[in-house]
Structure 1
Amino acid sequence: MTFERLRTNRFNHWIIIHLRYLVGFAFFPSGLTKLIGNRFTVLSTDTPIGYFFEAMYLTGFYWNFLGFCQVVAGILLMTQRFALLGTLMFLAILSNIWIITISLSFTGTWIITSFMMVAVIILLIWDHHKLIPVFGYNQPMTVKAYPDPERPWISAGLIYTACLLYLSFPGPSTQGPELWILRGLLIVIVSTFLFTHYKVYKSRSALLKNQG
């Protein structure tokens, strides 16, 4: 089957893992901003976009709840293990954002949200076999099992999550000790990226050697 060949291809697997990282991180800055109760924009309320965001901000708890859901969806995607749940949450939230950017004629923003929608749909298609039992009410069926991300990718996701949440937190972080922390976290991210790829490469090389 075409889907099975695509799903078991190692390069496609690598793309999906890093697409989850990228999409998950995309919600951290805006989500944290809402979660701690800050305004998302400084646009004048004389414009429809500014008025809309100000009205959303004045809802109070809903504004915080929206930010919380964005952060949770991002974290779930980054973990790899719970990526499908994160994808479903992300799709629900992003669908609203996407329609809003189109309805209010955001300059250029609708293009970005459209690309994000495509990315989320790709992630959903990748794991769609896990949703088959939901739509097969009271019918016996066998769900095809595919390899999950290896442990190094899961561990890397947890490290990326901790580092990127800190880096995405609103507030000054370019002076004094904060600057050194920022540099340190960037080094951790790069080191994790390199080490993870090396670890996976070594494990696969050893597997191929044993099989040979």
Structure 2
Amino acid sequence: MYEKLRTHKLNQWLIIHLRYLLGVAFLPSGLTKIVGNRFTQISTDHPIGFFFEGLYQSGIYYNFIGVAQVLAALLLMTQRFATLGAVVYYSLIVNIWLITVSLSFKGTWVITSLMLLACTVLLVWDYQKLKGIFAYNTAPKITLYPDPDRLWQAAGIIYFVFILAMSAFPADRLFPKISAVMVVITFVVSNRIAYKRYKKGRKFIEDINPTMQQTKQ
């Protein structure tokens, strides 16, 4: 069952874009913490505002959380280091989820719950790479599955750079608008190339199967 899910082309495409999506979700909030801006303007009279003001006043720790979020996003979006990115991301999103549940965020806990679920899916997807951690005094058998090729790795880097730029500049400026256009172009072009490769590979299999049957006869 796992192998069938893992080798399905549509599932592979979904996982690649789930990594992009989770990475994008961390970039604006991570960058906000890195540059030292407050995450929220809620009054300190409210428990949520009081908590985030205390977190903001922690200084270097506040910046460190931002760096960790951006790093997790980058690792995920490169695709090449996505397994490590999922591990780092999971440690962060578990804490964020607990904060939103504990402080009774209205609606936000639903979003963080979905993010936690999505990251869990990524860890299950890469279980064959992680199962050695749970092995005791044995050499686990690792099944090798194809990782995303350079097309998706390049697209991930482009997404990271331009979405980070969109988060860094005011929305009414020209550069964020150009960045948004570049993100859309990257999505269209990368998926068009991937689809053409898929159709070409499928046609090759369809063409070679009759030839193999004739050879057997």
Give the TM-score band, short-chain normalised: over 0.9
1:206 and 1:167 map into 2 onto residues whose CA distance is 36
Give yes or no for contact 2:89–2:119 (8 Å, CA) kept in 1.
yes
Find 1:205's aligned residue among 199, 204, 210: 199
How far the C-alpha of 1:132 sits from its partner, in A, is 1.1
How far the C-alpha of 1:204 sits from its partner, in A, is 2.3
User: SS of the residue aligned with 1:27?
Assistant: helix
Tell me the equivalent position of 2:159: 160
CA RMSD of aligned residues (A): 1.1
Any idea what the Cα deviations from partners look like across 1:41-100, whole Å, max 9, x if unmatched? 001101111110000000000000000000000111111111111111111011011011
1:151 and 1:128 map into 2 onto residues whose CA distance is 22
1:141 and 1:14 map into 2 onto residues whose CA distance is 27
Give yes or no for contact 2:171–2:177 (8 Å, CA) kept in 1.
no
The one-letter code sitting in structure 2 at the alignment partner of 1:203 is: R
The one-letter code sitting in structure 1 at the alignment partner of 2:39 is: F
The one-letter code sitting in structure 2 at the alignment partner of 1:97 is: I
The one-letter code sitting in structure 1 at the alignment partner of 2:147 is: D
Equivalent runs, 1:3-14 vs 2, <5 Å: 3-14=2-13
Percent of pairs identical after alignment? 49
Find 1:172's aligned residue among 164, 170, 173: 170
Residue 191, structure 1, aligned to residue 189, structure 2: no
Equivalent runs, 1:7-156 vs 2, <5 Å: 7-156=6-155
How far the C-alpha of 1:108 sits from its partner, in A, is 0.9
2:193 and 2:64 map into 1 onto residues whose CA distance is 38
2:114 and 2:198 map into 1 onto residues whose CA distance is 32
User: SS of the residue aligned with 2:40?
Assistant: coil
1:141 and 1:118 map into 2 onto residues whose CA distance is 26
TM-score (norm 2): 0.91
The structure-2 alpha-carbon separation of the partners of 1:172 and 1:191, relative to structure 1 and needing over 3 Å to count, comes to: closer
Indicate the structure (1 or 2) with the bigger Cα radius of gyration: 2
User: SS of the residue aligned with 2:105?
Assistant: coil
TM-score (norm 1): 0.94
User: SS of the residue aligned with 2:170?
Assistant: coil
User: SS of the residue aligned with 1:172?
Assistant: coil
How far the C-alpha of 1:151 sits from its partner, in A, is 1.6
1:209 and 1:162 map into 2 onto residues whose CA distance is 35
* Count of matched residue positions in the alignment of Structure 1 and Structure 2: 206
1:67 and 1:210 map into 2 onto residues whose CA distance is 47
Residue ranges of structure 2 left out of the alignment (5+ in a row): 208-217
Give yes or no for contact 2:42–2:48 (8 Å, CA) kept in 1.
yes
The one-letter code sitting in structure 1 at the alignment partner of 2:74 is: I
Greater RCO (CA < 8 Å, at least 6 residues apart): 1
The one-letter code sitting in structure 2 at the alignment partner of 1:201 is: Y
Any idea what the Cα deviations from partners look like across 1:9-54, whole Å, max 9, x if unmatched? 0001111111000001100010000011110000110111111000
1:200 and 1:173 map into 2 onto residues whose CA distance is 31
